[in-house]
């Protein structure tokens, strides 16, 4: 096996993007095995931006498992009883979608703030607080939906349809609470001027994913319940 | 080694308190050792349980002194009841599959060596990494607590088939609280593994040092990366399945219990559930789990053999592709566990085909090993012996997989000792040999001391011969129709097979006792072993370019630059017949000279 051992190219560090935690390698650093170092880039995406896709994938697999369980369970027996979805769910959907918009506004404002244009953005965390509030309202709204179902006599074990409704919505709400934890983390870091852009981007992506996941769940519940 | 790009890496001070240093440590090396210790305790526990089972299978009425302390009702006077036999079997399987075969080759060695092999100073999310271990540790405690809580552990086997996993105590001792504890334990285990996978994937993709392209990663790093991708998919599916079973128990839902189920003469209050649903969810995890256990072993064996052959494998690239193919195909074959579960026959065919196809990458891997070994001057030591033993077990156990892959044959052999022999060899013993090989190979780097080589060789030959003495007869028993999970064979056609069981029991006791040599070697060498040099095996990858044991930040404040492929052996360099990945030295190979 031939071996070529050129010195890696020297890259002006000022031309490198923000490297966060990572910095010294990365999946873009595709040095071919024969040692030709042309095209080498010395940076990689920060781990949090890769990690968020890993988390999104794992959560997707989890809900795929629940979804397939719902479809198999519904088809395996005649005891499935359909019921109309609580109307508050549609309002909650609007809340979650609105929170995605406010978070996107927030992300841009914080990015501007972190980019050095501090005079243009006086209170960068304001839209983050609004997003947090909308997220909390969404979870509260989900609780209202569960209360409405309970008032109608539909509990977790009443019917497999209600079982899946509670399991899917509660698991999603737990993940939304995780996202709210992420938002609080971002707000705290921002207040200490220790926020990394990659952390903000990762939190934003996760939050948008929660919205997309909820739209999927709503469609699934609407079609199958 | 060159001091470069240090500006890009966040430095954090090493911990000073005992708790932060040795208990709740953020250091990937300490976490790796913690995983190893957990796996060792789990392996010894699982082995002890298998001894109890084997003694009972050979001598049904034998009283095992002290066993009544483990379960008064399950082993009155030390004699194992059929129910307690099943509880022992379930715990043996669960402990071994989850807390040994997943934990040791992947989480333990991967944690310790993956960041070093890619040139990083730690995982990107050390707190998640610490949580990963401690959640796994709590999962182990929850599982073991079922021995003392309620009416003992669950007796449903490590597969926990429905509906008996969901109906409660009516299905037998341990089927109430025991099942709930099992499900909670495994759900926690899933969380731990998902956190681990998150760190492994991001470490591999984002923290590679300058010059370390993906194709320059050692095969072990590739194996851990592929395994973490598999774990990410598999454990994310098992966890919801466990949650649904817990709800069937504690909330009265009916996910898995069909209508009109009568168990122990009692009509069950559940209705409409699907037993096949559990099997689908479980085996979607369960079959990839086999590869989660074995792929790290493939990486370890390749890494160890290359170092001792002093030449690279015929094709490193093909080996990587084969490991990737095994990972992808492992999700397409799971239905072969359900050939007799009442699936549509067309589905059986659909699952049978990829099951046969998956033998192709496995065979290519073995052929690459074999032809690479051919003509090489292999350095014989405990690590390379166990690597050879891995190949032997992988082939011997894998061959029986051809038979089981075909539905028509599987109908005969399903749930017999043939299957038990098959998976014990190909997944259990092979993976264990991979763990042993890795231990003998990396122990010097992990502890700074060498293991006793002579004891290592004795350990290998006793384990190698012992494993064949135990598990080959399993195949004969299966072909003779010996059903698995029976606790005794009092009459009819099984009675003549009893001498085989007695032979297996004796072999299991002797082979198990031989593992105490390993434990002694491990502990003695840890404290009194010969001090290890930085690179005792004259190896090339990054873990051997740093001090032994590695400093807190792995490379002493510096960051290596990688100039070479991971396995530059058989070359002429200033240090010998190899050149390290970090060496800027330009070398010529024999091939170049020709």
Mapping DSSP to helix (H, G, I), strand (E, B) and coil, where does residue B571 land? Answer: strand
Nearest to B147 by CA among B72, B64, B54: B72
Inspect the interface and report whether the beta carbons of A25 and B206 lie closer than 8 Å.
Answer: yes
Q: Do B438 and B35 touch, CB atoms closer than 8 A?
A: no
ipTM of the complex: 0.91
Sites in chain B below the pLDDT cut of 70:
1-12, 588-594
CA B413 – CA B48 distance, rounded (Å): 28
Inspect the interface and report whether the beta carbons of A22 and B255 lie closer than 8 Å.
Answer: no
The distance of A130 to chain B (nearest Cα, Å) reads 29
State yes or no: pLDDT of A18 exceeds 60: no
Question: Do β-strands B571-572 and B588-589 pair in parallel, antiparallel, or remain unpaired?
Answer: antiparallel
CA-nearest residue to B253 within chain A is A157
What is the enclosing helix (H) or strand (E) of B267? strand B266-267
Inspect the interface and report whether the beta carbons of A24 and B247 lie closer than 8 Å.
Answer: no
B504 preceded by cis ω (within 30°)? no
Q: Kindly state the tokens that stand for B372.
A: 């690479």
Q: Kindly state the tokens that stand for B445.
A: 């780097």
The distance of A122 to chain B (nearest Cα, Å) reads 30
B266 forms beta bridges with B263
CB-side neighbour CA atoms (13 Å) of B261:
23
| Contacts with A3 from chain B: Cβ below 8 Å | 564-565, 568, 571, 579, 586-589
- Domain ranges in chain A are 1-45, 47-62+71-224
Residue A119 pLDDT: 64
Nearest to A124 by CA among A141, A111, A133, A137: A111
| HEC string for B98-133 | HHHHHHHHHHHHHHHHHHHHHCCCCCCCHHHHHHHH
pLDDT bin (cut points 50, 70, 90) of residue A5 is low
Residue of B205, B241, B258 with shortest CB distance to A50: B205
State yes or no: pLDDT of A7 exceeds 60: no
CA B434 – CA B139 distance, rounded (Å): 24
Q: Kindly state the tokens that stand for B111.
A: 């944690």
What is the enclosing helix (H) or strand (E) of A56? helix A47-75
| DSSP 8-state symbol, A145 | H
Model confidence over B87-143: pLDDT tens digits?
999 999 999 999 999 999 999 999 999 999 999 999 999 999 999 999 999 999 999
Residue B478 pLDDT: 94
Query: Cα dist. A84→A81, A96, A143, A219, B255 in Å?
Result: 10, 21, 17, 13, 21
The residue with tokens 């953020």 is B26
What is the enclosing helix (H) or strand (E) of A53? helix A47-75
CA B359 – CA B354 distance, rounded (Å): 9
Burial class of B147 by CB neighbour count within 10 A (0 to 12, 13 to 18, 19+): middle
The distance of B148 to chain A (nearest Cα, Å) reads 30
Inspect the interface and report whether the beta carbons of A77 and B259 lie closer than 8 Å.
Answer: yes
Measured in degrees and rounded to the nearest 5, phi and psi for residue B341 equal -90, 0
| Contacts with A10 from chain B: Cβ below 8 Å | none
CA A121 – CA B279 distance, rounded (Å): 56
Residue B347 pLDDT: 83
Residue B576 pLDDT: 87
CA A170 – CA A176 distance, rounded (Å): 10
Which residues, in sequence order, are CB contacts of A80 under 8 Å at separation 6+?
A: A73, A74, A159, A160, A161, B272
Inspect the interface and report whether the beta carbons of B232 and A22 lie closer than 8 Å.
Answer: no
Inspect the interface and report whether the beta carbons of A26 and B206 lie closer than 8 Å.
Answer: yes
Q: Express the helix, strand and coil content of chain B in percent, nearest 5 each.
A: 65, 5, 30
| DSSP 8-state symbol, B578 | B
Length reported for chain B: 594
Residue B260 pLDDT: 86
Residue B28 pLDDT: 96
* DSSP output for B335-398: GGGGTTTT--HHHHHHHHHHHHHTHHHHHHHHHHHHHHHTT--PPPSHHHHHHHHHHHHHHHHH
Which residues, in sequence order, are CB contacts of B545 under 8 Å at separation 6+?
A: B1, B534, B535, B555, B560, B580, B581, B582
Residue A53 sits at the vertex; the CA angle it makes with B136 and B101, to the nearest 5 degrees, is: 30
Mapping DSSP to helix (H, G, I), strand (E, B) and coil, where does residue B172 land? Answer: coil
Q: Kindly state the tokens that stand for B431.
A: 């993976």
* Mean pLDDT rounded to a whole number for chain B: 92
Mapping DSSP to helix (H, G, I), strand (E, B) and coil, where does residue B592 land? Answer: helix
The distance of B199 to chain A (nearest Cα, Å) reads 8
For the domain covering A47-62+71-224, report its CATH number: 1.20.120.80
Residue of A1, A31, A40 with shortest CB distance to B589: A1
Model confidence over A95-142: pLDDT tens digits?
999 999 999 999 888 888 777 666 666 777 889 999 999 999 999 999
Give just the sign of the alpha carbon dihedral B357, B358, B363, B369. Answer: positive
CA A37 – CA B210 distance, rounded (Å): 11
| Contacts with A171 from chain B: Cβ below 8 Å | 240, 243
Residue A29 pLDDT: 41
* Topology of the domain covering B31-261+270-593: Cytochrome C Oxidase; Chain A (1.20.210)
Measured in degrees and rounded to the nearest 5, phi and psi for residue B165 equal -80, -5
Residue A61 at interface with chain B, using a CB cutoff of 8 Å: yes
Residue of B194, B241, B253 with shortest CB distance to A157: B253
The distance of B147 to chain A (nearest Cα, Å) reads 30
Query: Cα dist. A47→A19, A207, B565 in Å?
Result: 9, 18, 24
Query: Cα dist. B303→A194, A201, B222, B440 in Å?
Result: 42, 38, 11, 13
* Mean pLDDT rounded to a whole number for chain A: 82
CA B200 – CA B185 distance, rounded (Å): 22
Q: Do A172 and A145 touch, CB atoms closer than 8 A?
A: no
Q: Do B502 and B58 touch, CB atoms closer than 8 A?
A: yes
Residue A37 pLDDT: 41
Residue B348 pLDDT: 82
- Please report the residues numbered 28 through 47 in chain A whose beta carbons come closer than 8 angstroms to any beta carbon of chain B: 29-33, 35, 37, 40, 42, 44-47
Burial class of A181 by CB neighbour count within 10 A (0 to 12, 13 to 18, 19+): exposed
Which residues, in sequence order, are CB contacts of B323 under 8 Å at separation 6+?
A: B222, B223, B226, B295, B298, B299, B361, B365
Residue of A24, A32, A48 with shortest CB distance to B209: A24
More confident residue, B275 or A13: B275
Residue of A4, A6, A50 with shortest CB distance to B206: A50
Helices (H), B424-553: 430-447, 453-479, 498-528
Model confidence over A19-72: pLDDT tens digits?
333 333 444 344 444 444 433 344 566 888 899 999 999 999 999 999 999 999
CA B165 – CA B187 distance, rounded (Å): 15
To test the contact with chain A by mutation, choose from B197, B208, B210 the residue with the greatest count of A C-beta atoms within 10 A, namely: B210
State yes or no: pLDDT of A163 exceeds 80: yes
| Contacts with B563 from chain A: Cβ below 8 Å | 5-6, 35
pTM of the model: 0.91
CA B474 – CA B446 distance, rounded (Å): 37
| DSSP 8-state symbol, B428 | I
Inspect the interface and report whether the beta carbons of B202 and A29 lie closer than 8 Å.
Answer: no
Residue/partner pairs of B511-514 with CB below 8 Å, 24 or more apart: B511/B462, B511/B463, B511/B466, B511/B467, B511/B469, B511/B470, B512/B47, B512/B50, B512/B51, B514/B458, B514/B459, B514/B462, B514/B463, B514/B466
**In angstroms, how far is CA A220 from the centroid of its own chain?**
19
Residue A7 at interface with chain B, using a CB cutoff of 8 Å: yes
A:B CB pairs within 8 Å: 204
Q: Do B504 and B494 touch, CB atoms closer than 8 A?
A: no
B549 preceded by cis ω (within 30°)? yes
| Contacts with A47 from chain B: Cβ below 8 Å | 124-125, 202-203, 206-207
Helices A160-191, B219-250: inter-axial angle, 10-degree rounding: 130
In angstroms and rounded to an integer, the radius of gyration of the C-alpha atoms of chain B is: 24
| HEC string for B24-35 | CCCCHHHHHHHH
- Domain ranges in chain B are 31-261+270-593
The distance of A30 to chain B (nearest Cα, Å) reads 5
């Amino acid at each position: 096996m031939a071996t070529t051992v050129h010195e890696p190219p020297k890259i002006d560090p000022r031309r490198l993007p923000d490297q966060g935690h990572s910095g010294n390698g990365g999946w873009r650093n595709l040095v071919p095995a024969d040692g030709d170092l042309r095209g080498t880039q010395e940076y990689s995406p920060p781990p949090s931006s890769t990690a968020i896709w890993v988390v999104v994938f794992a959560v997707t697999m989890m809900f795929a498992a629940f979804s397939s369980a719902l479809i198999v369970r519904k088809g395996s027996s005649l005891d499935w009883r359909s019921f109309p979805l609580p109307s508050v769910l549609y309002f909650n959907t609007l809340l979650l979608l609105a929170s995605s918009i406010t978070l996107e506004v927030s992300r841009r404002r914080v990015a501007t703030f972190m980019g050095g244009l501090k005079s243009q953005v006086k209170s960068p965390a304001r839209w983050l607080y609004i997003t947090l509030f909308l997220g909390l309202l969404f979870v509260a709204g989900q609780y209202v939906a569960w209360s409405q179902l309970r008032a109608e006599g539909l509990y977790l074990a009443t019917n497999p349809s209600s079982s899946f409704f509670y399991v899917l919505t509660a698991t999603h709400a737990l993940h939304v609470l995780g996202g709210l934890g992420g938002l609080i983390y971002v707000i705290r870091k921002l207040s200490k001027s220790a926020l990394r852009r990659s952390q903000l981007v990762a939190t934003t992506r996760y939050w948008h994913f929660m919205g997309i996941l909820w739209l999927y769940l709503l469609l699934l519940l609407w079609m199958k319940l | 080694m060159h001091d470069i790009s240090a500006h890009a890496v966040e430095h954090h001070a090493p911990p000073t308190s005992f708790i932060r240093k040795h208990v709740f440590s953020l250091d990937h090396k300490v976490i790796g050792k913690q995983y190893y210790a957990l796996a060792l305790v789990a392996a010894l526990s699982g082995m002890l349980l298998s001894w109890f089972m084997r003694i009972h299978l050979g001598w049904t009425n034998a009283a095992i002194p002290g066993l009544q302390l483990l379960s008064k009702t399950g082993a009155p006077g030390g004699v194992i009841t059929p129910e307690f036999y099943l509880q022992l079997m379930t715990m043996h399987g669960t402990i071994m599959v989850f807390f040994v075969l997943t934990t040791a080759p992947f989480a333990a060695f991967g944690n310790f060596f993956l960041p070093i092999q890619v040139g990083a100073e730690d995982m990107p999310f050390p707190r998640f990494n610490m949580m990963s271990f401690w959640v796994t540790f709590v999962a182990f405690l929850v599982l073991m607590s079922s021995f003392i809580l309620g009416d003992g552990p669950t007796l449903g086997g490590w597969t926990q088939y429905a509906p008996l996993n969901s109906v409660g105590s009516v299905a037998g001792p341990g089927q109430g609280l025991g099942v709930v504890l099992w499900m909670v334990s495994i759900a926690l285990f899933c969380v731990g593994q998902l956190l681990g996978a998150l760190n492994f994937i991001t470490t591999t993709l984002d923290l590679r040092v300058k010059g370390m392209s993906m194709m320059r990663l050692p095969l072990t790093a590739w194996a851990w990366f592929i395994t973490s991708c598999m774990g990410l998919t598999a454990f994310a599916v098992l966890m919801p399945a466990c949650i649904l079973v817990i709800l069937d128990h504690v909330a009265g839902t009916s996910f898995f219990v069909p209508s009109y189920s009568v168990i122990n003469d009692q009509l069950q209050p559940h209705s409409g559930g699907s037993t096949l649903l559990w099997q689908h969810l479980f085996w979607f995890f369960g079959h990839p789990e086999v590869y989660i256990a074995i792929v790290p072993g493939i990486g370890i064996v390749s890494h160890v053999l290359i170092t001792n052959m002093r030449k690279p494998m015929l094709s490193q690239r093909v080996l990587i592709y084969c490991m990737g193919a095994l990972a992808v195909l492992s999700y397409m074959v799971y239905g072969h566990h359900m050939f007799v579960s009442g699936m549509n026959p067309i589905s059986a065919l659909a699952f049978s085909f990829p099951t046969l196809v998956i033998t192709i990458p496995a065979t290519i891997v073995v052929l690459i090993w074999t032809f690479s070994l051919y003509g090489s001057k292999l350095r014989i030591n405990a690590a390379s012996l166990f690597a050879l033993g891995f190949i032997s077990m992988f082939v011997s156990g894998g061959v029986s997989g051809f038979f089981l892959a075909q539905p028509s044959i599987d109908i005969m052999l399903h749930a017999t000792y043939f299957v038990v022999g098959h998976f014990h060899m190909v997944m259990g013993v092979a993976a264990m040999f991979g763990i042993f090989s890795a231990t003998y190979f990396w122990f010097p780097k992990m502890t700074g001391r060498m293991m006793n080589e002579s004891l290592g060789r004795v350990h290998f030959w006793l384990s190698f011969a012992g494993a064949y003495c135990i598990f080959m007869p399993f195949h004969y028993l299966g072909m003779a129709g010996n059903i698995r999970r029976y606790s005794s064979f009092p009459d009819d056609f099984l009675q003549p097979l009893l001498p085989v069981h007695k032979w297996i029991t004796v072999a299991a006791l002797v082979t198990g006792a031989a593992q105490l040599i390993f434990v002694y070697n491990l502990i003695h060498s840890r404290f009194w072993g010969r001090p290890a040099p930085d690179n005792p095996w004259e190896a090339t990858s990054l873990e051997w370019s740093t001090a032994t044991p590695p400093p807190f930040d792995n490379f002493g404040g510096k960051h290596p630059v990688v100039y070479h492929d991971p396995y530059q052996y058989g070359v002429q360099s200033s240090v010998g017949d190899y050149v390290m990945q970090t060496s800027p030295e330009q070398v010529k190979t024999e091939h170049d000279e020709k």
